Structure 1
Amino acid sequence: MKVSMGAPLLAAISFASVILPATAERILQSTSLNSCQENSGFTASLFNVVYSPSEGKAHVNISAISTIEATVVFDLDITAYGYSIIHRTIDPCEVGLAGFCPMISGKLGDPFALDVSPDATSGIPQIAYDFPDLDAKVKIYINATDGPQAGQSVACIEASISNGQTVDLVGVKWASAIVAGLALASSAFLSGLGHTNAASHVAANALSLTSYFQAQAMVGLVGIPLPPVVQSWTQDFQWSMGIINVGWMERIFTWYQRSTGGTASTLITQVDQLATVSVDVQKRALDLASRGVAMLPRSVVEHGSNLLKRVNVQTDYGSYVVYGIQRVAFRAGIESTNLFLTGLVFFYIIMALTTLCVIAFKGFCELVTKQGWLKGDTFLEFRNGWRTVLKGILFRMSLIGHPAITILSLWEFTQNDSPALMVLAVFFLLTLNAVLAWAAYKVIRIAHRSVALHRNPAYILFSDPQTLNKWGFLYIQFRASAYYFIVPVLGYTVVKAMFIAFAQNSGLVQAVGFILIEAGALIAAVVLRPWMDKKTNSFNIAICVVNFLNAIFLLIFTDVFDQPGLVTGVVGVVLWILNAVCTLVLLLMLIITTGIVIFHGNPDGRYKFMADDRTSFMKSQSQLATTTELDALAMTARGEKPGYSGLDLDDDGDSNPRDSLYRGQGSGTDSTRNSHHAPSHYAPPRSPVDPINRTVSPLSASNISIARSQNSVNPTGVKPPTSPR
């Protein structure tokens, strides 16, 4: 019986590999044998086959039960990427398969090895061992030829085949994470040096690239059947969602869940590298609900909510079906009940490490300055206002972690892994979204005040270092007139997270929702073009186009069009190639532009002044050297004190706007209080609107210069009396 079971499957493996992948060891393998019909008379809880052409043998480890007692024939179908390459009927009596002629009931559970003929080995093309994440499978219908079920299928078994090659690579994960992290760090470094214009460009591109990584990770989190190559590719970017497997941390999370009244999943423990249980990583376009309910134990079906609530759907023959978010957790080696806590903890670990790095850099700057290794004005703005800078950095990290925390928290509501985890999910979901909503409200309020006073939102948003450092993470990547665009960005994330978390059991709903969401994002990006300049707009529009195409591909994967399997397989490969090329191009663009900016003699000079005139209001180190003397003269002419530092718009007092705008002029206390936000030689920019008459000043730039020079000679600005005739 052992040989009889393995022979047709090994033949299937040999033929199926016509278009399958391989590893450096050149192997073909299958790790699960799944039932493909209801009331199947042959079921397996474990199936592991490894074929090595160099050895010429296939090692089989199977745990199965047969309830069939009849004369049978095997109807074997081998497909690769949905295309049927072999369809053959095998009579077990003709090939001498003991135990299958006739087929008898019994249990199979001992490992064994099968010899594979050289003819079968020579028929396997080289591409079968090289192409990554092959989507190939063998399906065998066991048809009875006598008895009451003559002419009917009494069992159906299906085995997926792979070659061990995959695009789920540790190198891709580290490379993408390091590039994005270094780009964000470089933008902070440039900002500390005073090159605000260059820093804003680098930060905008780094944030866009990170959001693209998260969008690819979200594709892997949907409950839609995905081809193997799509599963593996999207797994490369799950680090951006905080899904990172650290063994000792996972043990702590399991302990915490159990100690707070939860029941931890033990699927990873049971699998033990697929040695004791079979796991079907869902990738075929089947209706999970109907399939799962048909296979579930009666005790589970009677409590139908468990299908929606409990992860790791277990079939009645001991194997498991994983899909969507739990599929990602399984591939990452994380128990599904630990997934929420894993993402949450890693998010706050990054926040803590960022805080420590900023504090350490502050201390380092003070040390080297006291030792005389750096000039006293190097990183002066950061050293004086480092607390405000730290707040802005933490806000930016919150914006980056917003998709992950929102998705995992909402998903935890459907799982209820433990009362404590539910409390954490509610708290952090509301807290993070409330903080970002408050920040967006502050930006809109400041912009409205700037428009009311100066008819230009860029004036206040970019003139005050405290405002720019603390709230700039929300608007600096956009043009000044599109400061509001952060609101639809946050809404886009929340709505997308809801579809991912709440529609895990309805792939079609997720696919249609993604298409509508991504179509809206693409239209908004193309029509409004809200980013700071033409290059940044092109960068983000390209990302929106790829995200929209990914949404269309997801709809195809749901099999709603009832397309041939070959179409689904080809679309999966196209999605991988498209996103791989786009990722590579965006990474190279970010690396090259960041490198050029860092080693450029004048980083700010590399970028053109933006149409919103923000550079006229931003304090740039390259501009300070040429404007310091003129600014000092202008300050003297206006009667301002040297400690004036611009606007303090971080409070929400309802005092007179004119008094608030000029509070630094009449109060030495206020000037002293704000002096730590900017160097003393920094003068506020001239508003495009006269602050007294609230009208547009008729003076051109040249007239302003003439007026300044005249005021420096006659600081009072009073016309001297003329002598009488």
Structure 2
Amino acid sequence: MRLSRAAVLAAGFQYARAVRMIESTSLNPCMANSSFTATFFNVVFTPDNATLAYNINGESEVSAYVTLDIQVSGYGYDVYHKTLDPCSDPSLKGVCPMSAGSLQNLRSNAPLPADAIKQVPNAIYYIPDLDGKVRVWINETDDRRPLACVEAELRNGKTVNQKGVAWAIAVLTGLCLVSSAIASGRGHFSTSAHVAANILSILNYFQAQAQIGMTAVHTPPIIRAWTQNFQWSMGIIRVGFLQRMATWYQRATGGKPAMLLSSLSTMSVHIQKRSNLGSSSSFDARVKTVKGIERVSFMAGIEATNTFFTGYTMFTVVLLLVSLLVVLFRYACEGLVRSGKMHSSKFYDFRHGWLLVLKGIIFRLVLIGFAPMVVLCIWEFTRHDSGGEVALAVSVLLFVVTVLAFAAVKIWLIAARSEHMHKSPAYILYADPMVLNKWGFLYVSYKADVAYFLIPMLVYTFVKAVFVGAAQKSGIVQAIAFVILDMAMLIAMSIMKPFMDRATNAWSISIASINALNSLILLLLSGIFGLPPLAIGVLGVLFFVVNCVFTVVLLATAIWTAGRAIVSKNPDNHYQAVLDDRVSFKSTTNLELSELSALAATARGESRLGMRSNNSLASGFRPPEGPDGRKRLSPVYGVDWAPPSPARPGATFARTG
């Protein structure tokens, strides 16, 4: 019976998954002035067929009979130790004696005895991102004097760095943002604000994890792999044609592209070691050490000289694509209304205020892209990949910093003026539709009386990003800065509780707590305390477990609230009252004032729309009317004009219907 092609492929896939192996692709020096370096190294141990296959190219300065002292460790434990004499091992005849010069294509497929295979625990083949190493001392046979030392990191093919995981997280986050927009379109503005605030906090958390991976601290393999899942939030996304475009642009503007990924057959690439080791010039010429952002780029398959351009292009493309989608949706709605296929009241606010909606969306995207752009721009200033890329970095950094700084100061001044004029910062922030629609993206998640908290939030984000981009040569400096900044933010949030309700405060403080814990772990891993290898391995596993569980909980909660925002008939009922008096200045039921409200307004000397005749806030402003004659003042946030008396800022008027 002939097997189908699908069955053969499925069987092959299952076999590939079932194969046990341990491999290493990088051989690094572990002593100062090592007399042996490897320009290419690949070793694969497969216990199922009891073979050890290796292929090595290198340079040797040793000319003597030697013995090989092999030490294998896992998470700080020594699990295997053996001394080999190359002259008595047929598979090592090529180094008996070892000769100075070039060693090319030193390869073998040597069988291993069964007793040696049994010494390796079976669990080693299945632990993701195995923190194992093999160290080989090359000693002179006569006096046992060490001539060279090389070390290789071991892996078993299992890793928590999965493209599927990264894409799933990105897609789910995007869908939750879309649900916020849908809730706003349905008129559930409280739900929309809560979902958007939660998703923005999640994105900030993802970027914080990505920044941990971007630091120059040498972290365990499981931390490097886990944080790599979130590099998309920093714009580090590999696209083939984009890499070719980046290389072309760099060459066209006077730069010299890196060729590390295309020279792996002749160049040995290894991750930065915890200790600084001396090396010879021949080693420096043939071995490339990657750390920090370079390490992240290498793991993503992006040349270091293309990293800034990649992030910049992703940021620009997202801005243009979202703008285009908003414009297309607006004209599609207009077309459906004119053709009679959609009622004219549907998306009325959006269709007549789409420019304000688009502006608010662009501001949100700039806020989301603030940390990535600061990190990559500052990093580009330290590299100078090309004149054109430096010019792009200057322009985009000035753009994001100027836009957000101006908006933050503007909100602070408006809140102060409102407090001075109306004894409540929420009065102008939520009663003036022009202020709300233009700047509301920055402060709706905060209580009105602490709307200024967005300024320390932006400063915190900026300073942390600067340390990531500018201090790539010192992981200790980065780790100390992270601890100070994250602890300060956690303390500030815990004391001030600046967000709009208890649930949002608890959500944000929880994220700040995990960020502070991650920073403490990063500081412990920086080498400043000299922790033993076992403690470092334990911290790596702890980091992964805590953040993995927390990420799952965050996403599950966000998906639940997003789904409820779409399915529930009135999801606003699920949220408690906001911890300020913003609801005193809006009505989302019926915008026509009742007779009682009109009498109260007349007694206060206000017009029918609830505006004081001498109130400069809305001088000359008249709200647009919807198709049903209702006054609609805020197409973005659904806030309708019905302010209270300035003498009683907490009172609620015009709540009719």
Same fold (TM over 0.5): yes
Contact preservation (8 Å) 1:279, 1:320: yes
**Cα distance, 1:296–1:213 mapped onto 2, change above 3 Å:** farther
CA distance in 2: counterparts of 1:479 and 1:636, whole angstroms? 28
Counterpart among 627, 631, 656 of residue 681 in structure 1: 631
Counterpart among 126, 129, 141 of residue 130 in structure 1: 126
Which residue pairs with 2:274 in the alignment? 285
Which residue pairs with 1:671 in the alignment? 622
1:116 shift after superposition: 2.4
Which residue pairs with 2:80 in the alignment? 86
Counterpart among 57, 62, 70 of residue 64 in structure 2: 70
CA distance in 2: counterparts of 1:705 and 1:279, whole angstroms? 69
**Cα distance, 1:688–1:73 mapped onto 2, change above 3 Å:** same
Contact preservation (8 Å) 1:44, 1:317: no
Which residue pairs with 1:540 in the alignment? 508
Letter in 2 for 1:104: S
Contact preservation (8 Å) 1:33, 1:159: yes
Letter in 2 for 1:671: R
Counterpart among 351, 358, 368 of residue 400 in structure 1: 368
Contact preservation (8 Å) 1:384, 1:678: no
CA distance in 1: counterparts of 2:189 and 2:74, whole angstroms? 54
Letter in 1 for 2:314: F
CA deviation vs aligned residue, 1:636-672 (integer Å, no higher than 9, x gap):
9759889x6989xxxxxxxxx94522423xxxxx437
Does structure 1 residue 185 correspond to structure 2 residue 178? yes
Counterpart among 346, 353, 363 of residue 378 in structure 1: 346
Which residue pairs with 1:301 in the alignment? none
Contact preservation (8 Å) 2:432, 2:617: no
**Cα distance, 1:199–1:677 mapped onto 2, change above 3 Å:** farther
Counterpart among 371, 379, 391 of residue 359 in structure 2: 391
CA distance in 2: counterparts of 1:359 and 1:646, whole angstroms? 34
- Please state whether the residue corresponding to 2:592 is helix, strand or coil: helix
**Cα distance, 1:437–1:632 mapped onto 2, change above 3 Å:** farther
CA distance in 2: counterparts of 1:253 and 1:101, whole angstroms? 48
Which residue pairs with 2:479 in the alignment? 511
Counterpart among 200, 205, 209 of residue 202 in structure 2: 209
CA distance in 2: counterparts of 1:512 and 1:628, whole angstroms? 57
CA distance in 1: counterparts of 2:410 and 2:202, whole angstroms? 26
Range with greater deviation from structure 2 (381-390 or 368-377): 368-377
**Cα distance, 1:477–1:544 mapped onto 2, change above 3 Å:** same
Letter in 1 for 2:622: S
CA deviation vs aligned residue, 1:304-357 (integer Å, no higher than 9, x gap):
xxxxxxxxxx94351211000000000000010010010000011111111111
Letter in 2 for 1:248: F
Letter in 2 for 1:277: M
**Cα distance, 1:102–1:62 mapped onto 2, change above 3 Å:** closer
1:421 shift after superposition: 0.8
1:75 shift after superposition: 2.4
1:397 shift after superposition: 0.4
Does structure 1 residue 45 correspond to structure 2 residue 39? yes
Does structure 1 residue 295 correspond to structure 2 residue 251? no
Query: Among the aligned pairs, what percent are the same residue?
Result: 42
Letter in 2 for 1:215: A
Letter in 1 for 2:110: L
**Cα distance, 1:678–1:243 mapped onto 2, change above 3 Å:** farther
Which residue pairs with 1:225 in the alignment? 218
Which residue pairs with 2:99 in the alignment? 104
1:567 shift after superposition: 0.5
Contact preservation (8 Å) 1:617, 1:685: yes
1:477 shift after superposition: 1.0
Which residue pairs with 2:6 in the alignment? none
**Cα distance, 1:465–1:25 mapped onto 2, change above 3 Å:** farther
Unaligned runs of at least 5 residues, structure 2:
1-15, 634-639
Letter in 2 for 1:120: A
Which residue pairs with 2:532 in the alignment? 564
Which residue pairs with 1:332 in the alignment? 300
Letter in 1 for 2:124: A
Counterpart among 123, 143, 158 of residue 139 in structure 2: 143
CA distance in 2: counterparts of 1:629 and 1:542, whole angstroms? 42
Which residue pairs with 2:13 in the alignment? none
1:168 shift after superposition: 0.6
Letter in 1 for 2:130: L
Range with greater deviation from structure 2 (100-109 or 242-251): 100-109
Range with greater deviation from structure 2 (89-98 or 465-474): 89-98
CA distance in 1: counterparts of 2:36 and 2:74, whole angstroms? 24
**Cα distance, 1:35–1:192 mapped onto 2, change above 3 Å:** same
CA distance in 1: counterparts of 2:219 and 2:654, whole angstroms? 65
Contact preservation (8 Å) 1:521, 1:544: yes
CA deviation vs aligned residue, 1:509-541 (integer Å, no higher than 9, x gap):
111111101110110111111111111111111
Which residue pairs with 1:10 in the alignment? none
CA distance in 1: counterparts of 2:39 and 2:516, whole angstroms? 39
Letter in 1 for 2:527: D
**Cα distance, 1:533–1:628 mapped onto 2, change above 3 Å:** same
Which residue pairs with 1:634 in the alignment? 598
Question: How does 1:653-668 map onto structure 2 within 5 Å?
Answer: 658-664=614-620
Which residue pairs with 2:10 in the alignment? none
Contact preservation (8 Å) 1:32, 1:160: yes
CA distance in 2: counterparts of 1:662 and 1:104, whole angstroms? 88
Contact preservation (8 Å) 1:270, 1:277: yes
In the comparison of the two structures, how many residue pairs are matched?
A: 632
Letter in 2 for 1:363: Y
Which residue pairs with 1:263 in the alignment? 256
Contact preservation (8 Å) 1:450, 1:458: yes
**Cα distance, 1:226–1:559 mapped onto 2, change above 3 Å:** same
- Please state whether the residue corresponding to 2:429 is helix, strand or coil: helix
**Cα distance, 1:615–1:500 mapped onto 2, change above 3 Å:** same
**Cα distance, 1:510–1:677 mapped onto 2, change above 3 Å:** farther
**Cα distance, 1:506–1:659 mapped onto 2, change above 3 Å:** same
1:131 shift after superposition: 1.0
CA distance in 1: counterparts of 2:313 and 2:611, whole angstroms? 39
Range with greater deviation from structure 2 (24-33 or 116-125): 116-125
CA distance in 2: counterparts of 1:224 and 1:165, whole angstroms? 23
**Cα distance, 1:481–1:317 mapped onto 2, change above 3 Å:** same
Q: If the length of structure 2 is used for normalisation, what is the TM-score?
A: 0.90
Counterpart among 192, 198, 216 of residue 199 in structure 1: 192
CA deviation vs aligned residue, 1:235-278 (integer Å, no higher than 9, x gap):
0000000000001110010011011000110101112xxx3322
CA distance in 1: counterparts of 2:171 and 2:488, whole angstroms? 31
- Please state whether the residue corresponding to 1:51 is helix, strand or coil: strand
**Cα distance, 1:80–1:443 mapped onto 2, change above 3 Å:** same
Contact preservation (8 Å) 1:221, 1:500: yes
CA distance in 2: counterparts of 1:387 and 1:635, whole angstroms? 36
- Please state whether the residue corresponding to 1:472 is helix, strand or coil: helix
- CA RMSD between the two structures: 2.8
| Structure whose CA Rg is larger | 1
1:188 shift after superposition: 1.7
Unaligned runs of at least 5 residues, structure 1:
1-21, 298-313, 648-656, 665-669, 710-725
Letter in 2 for 1:681: K
Letter in 2 for 1:687: P
- Please state whether the residue corresponding to 1:50 is helix, strand or coil: strand
Contact preservation (8 Å) 1:30, 1:50: yes
CA distance in 2: counterparts of 1:465 and 1:394, whole angstroms? 18
- Please state whether the residue corresponding to 1:470 is helix, strand or coil: helix
